[in-house]
Amino acid sequence: MKKIALLHTVKSVYASFQAMLEKEIKDISVTNMVDEFLVTNAREKGYFPPENRRKLYLDLLSLAEGQPDVIAVTCSSLTPFAEELRSSFSMPIIVIDERMCRDAAAIGGNIAVLATAPTTVDPTVSRIKMESEKLGVASTVRSYLDTKAMDMLNLGDVQGHDARLAALARTATADVIVLAQASMATAANLVREATGKKVLTSPGSCIEDIKAALKG
């Protein structure tokens, strides 16, 4: 039986991601850790401070003690910092949005990045631009932020969260819309209906990366 460890920062992702994994991958054992501080502290300070980096390392170290076959970090705000720490661990560390950003870059054109956490915007936009350069695909990446949608989600108002994102998407200039955070995936269908555009989310693509890591 394969062992997968998941590090979350949002409770709604913790509540849903394991079920998605178990539907797609059979005979697995899943361990979850939720550390909201990694996002709430960064949000309050406006950047990812040194104490967050240390805490992220300690969280990953704690998960690694269980000797999982794969560790997946499900928060896009943590992506660049988790990637920096990969070489410190013997098992693969998968970040939630890596494949999604590659997919967006491959489509090219006008790419709209929707986010509800300020700390997610720069890492996601930078990743897509980097992947576009690697592929030699011309693209223009614009970001759109609505922190009130995250506030609504934290209060349990998923419908209100999704409606705000659909309204935000209508304002975007886009050939493809990227929902930057895993917690935003619930809004995918509504955003698609509101815009008629292709919508990319990270949970499904992350699971594909986990599958590949388990096989590799």
Q: Sketch the domain layout of the chain as residue ranges.
A: 2-96+204-215, 98-202
Q: What is the pLDDT at residue 46?
A: 86
Same fold, 2-96+204-215 and 98-202: yes
Lookup: tokens for 30: 């899943």
Residue whose tokens read 């997919």: 103
Residue type (1 letter), 185: A
Q: What is the pLDDT at residue 119?
A: 87
Q: What is the pLDDT at residue 15?
A: 85
Q: What is the pLDDT at residue 105?
A: 97
H-only helix segments in the chain: 11-24, 37-45, 50-64, 79-85, 98-107, 118-135, 147-154, 158-170, 188-195, 202-215
Lookup: tokens for 6: 């998941």
Assign domain 2-96+204-215 one CATH number from 3.40.50.1860, 3.40.50.2000, 3.40.50.720, 3.40.50.1700: 3.40.50.1860
Q: Is 3.40.50.1860 the CATH classification of the domain at 98-202? A: yes
Give pLDDT < 70 ranges for the chain.
none
Q: What is the pLDDT at residue 166?
A: 98
Q: What is the pLDDT at residue 12?
A: 86
Q: What is the pLDDT at residue 47?
A: 86
Q: What is the pLDDT at residue 187?
A: 97
Round to whole Å and give the CA distance between 139 and 115.
19
